[in-house]
Chains A and B, each alone.
Chain A
Amino acid sequence: MAATFFGEVVKAPCRAGTEDEEEDDEGRKETPEDREVRRQLARKREVRLLRRQTKTSLEVSLLEKYPCSKFIIAIGNNAVAFLSSFVTSSGVWEEVGCAKLWNEWCRTTDTAHLSPTEAFCVFYHLKSNPSVFGSCPRKNLQITVLTCRHVTDYKTSESTSSLHPPFLKALKTQNFKEPPCCSLLEQPNIVHDLPAAVLSYCQVWKIPAILYLCYTDVMKLDLITVEAFKPVLSSRSLKGLVKNIPQSTEVLKKLVTTNEIQSNIYT
């Protein structure tokens, strides 16, 4: 309560919440309408797994259908380019499904008709060795995550002129016993988003997993950044999956040139 200049008593606005007994009940109670809206939203935000070619949804969860020993996740356009030119171009990889999801940050509002090219995650498995793929937390499963981050996120006590991006750093779970292909990520650097979620999950469920994080100064698809992932080819999980490196390099070059967005800022 507060008094104004004219002597009237007015209720002072308070952001801490009203202490009055006459609480506004209407704002708090959930109407059936609200419940319905919330239900619809939850349905919209469901992650759907389906086969891209037939557009049928995968009835059996991918987890059970394709047990595997090695799971490799690439996040971001440079990591995906590396994987698609070096790994999936050697040997025959079959697409087994894709995951589609929608949330409020998506630009389209129509969830039913997301075009086939708008899958957020595509799953492949190696035809000749079906044990390589899957996300089921089984024994002998090893997970490799590849992703990129801008070098300005990298914190170090050394001068930034001593850094030569792109460079690779690794972060592994406790159960991962192999030596990584590059130096480990030092403190106080942290990992964000999906790679962090995957690693946390693996650490909790005691799955050996390693994240290879490439710090680069070019966030768009770039040949030099993708080639920075090359040391990972010598790791146990990727060895044997890459047959023909010169051919892969050609595939990569083609991928980069087709995706190059013309920019005239720098000459």
Chain B
Amino acid sequence: MESRYDRAITVFSPDGHLFQVEYAQEAVKKGSTAVGIRGTDIVVLGVEKKSVAKLQDERTVRKICALDDHVCMAFAGLTADARVVINRARVECQSYKLTVEDPVTVEYITRFIATLKQKYTQSNGRRPFGISALIVGFDDDGIPRLYQTDPSGTYHAWKANAIGRSAKTVREFLEKNYTEDAIANDNEAIKLAIRALLEIVQSGGKNIELAIIRRNQPLKMFSAKEIESQVTAIEKEKEETEKKKSKKTA
């Protein structure tokens, strides 16, 4: 049944599926994991860095991109599609600022990206964008925001979410560990993001990239050293809790 209804994006199957959109969601699962966390005064984006070929310049393989001074996003899926979406979003941010003389709200730019994606699910001869995006930032009112979009063009606000290859595992981890204590202060929120990624990343800190936005501050990308120090701190904490546990049982 599927094979007769999955070639054209504009064709529904008898049971109401748009198979091209569902297949686009599979393409997203081929990208490496990205996690987003909304704290009280901070938003954190963490991604699993893809291993770069020896002769390749690392700087050209970026999963976290700024859309404006106060908004940034991480994506998972087809690299080229992401580049196109990011460019359109960046242009829209500036166009909005020129027209309205105010920076975009996070929700506005998310809605713009989602509408763009939805358009591509409804016209003939095109295919959906094969990316999901996590968009974070602060609005003028100072409230932190985290949104997620997917290839179908839907968007939702989240407290914490993950997209990409092992998103399910990371989301389960976040559901268990996202508590008021976990995001009590900025450092805790950063640690939560790193701990979530360490669940699925293969060789520890050197395969993680992290970016944060604090209220009224621009995007900050963490250096490899800073990430390493966070990872060591997390591992130390883990050891201490293990010791305490073994003492209790003994």
Contact = CB atoms under 8 A, between A and B. Distances in A.
Interface of B: 2, 22, 26-27, 30-32, 50-51, 53, 56, 61, 63, 75-80, 82, 202
B27 A267 contact: no
B15 to A, nearest CB: 9
Given A217-B26, A253-B202, A266 B56 contact: no
26 contacts: A160-B2, A161-B22, A217-B26, A253-B202, A257-B51, A260-B51, A262-B56, A264-B61, A264-B79, A265-B78, A266-B27, A266-B30, A266-B31, A266-B32, A266-B78, A266-B79, A267-B31, A267-B50, A267-B61, A267-B63, A267-B75, A267-B76, A267-B77, A267-B78, A267-B79, A267-B82
Contacts of A265: 78-80
By DSSP majority rule, is chain A's interface helix, strand, loop, or mixed? loop
Interface string A139-182: 00000000000000000000011000000000000000000000
B126 to A, nearest CB: 18
Contacts of B32: 266-267
A217 B29 CA distance: 11
Nearest to B54: A262
Interface of A: 160-161, 217, 253, 257, 260, 262, 264-267
B222 to A, nearest CB: 19
Contacts of A267: 31-32, 50, 61, 63, 75-79, 82
A69 B155 CA distance: 58
Nearest to B19: A160
Contacts of B202: 253
A114 B63 CA distance: 44
A76 to B, nearest CB: 20
A265 B51 CA distance: 13
Contacts of B50: 267
A262 B61 CA distance: 13
A124 to B, nearest CB: 29
A266 B27 CA distance: 8
Given A264-B61, A267-B50, A267-B77, 8 more contacts: A160-B2, A161-B22, A217-B26, A260-B51, A265-B79, A266-B27, A266-B32, A266-B78
Contacts of B26: 217
A266 B26 CA distance: 11
Nearest to A253: B202
A264 B76 CA distance: 12
Contact of A266 (B2, B53, B77): B77
Nearest to A262: B53
Contacts of A260: 51
Contacts of A160: 2
A217 B75 CA distance: 21
A257 B31 CA distance: 17
Contacts of B22: 161
A174 B50 CA distance: 47
Contacts of B31: 266-267
B161 to A, nearest CB: 18
A28 B15 CA distance: 57
A267 B63 CA distance: 7
A244 to B, nearest CB: 20
Contacts of B61: 264, 267
A260 B26 CA distance: 21
A90 to B, nearest CB: 22
A223 to B, nearest CB: 8
Contacts of B80: 265
A267 B163 CA distance: 12
B25 to A, nearest CB: 9
A76 B27 CA distance: 24
Going nearest first, the 6 A-B pairs with the smallest beta carbon separation are: A262-B53, A266-B30, A267-B79, A266-B31, A267-B31, A267-B63
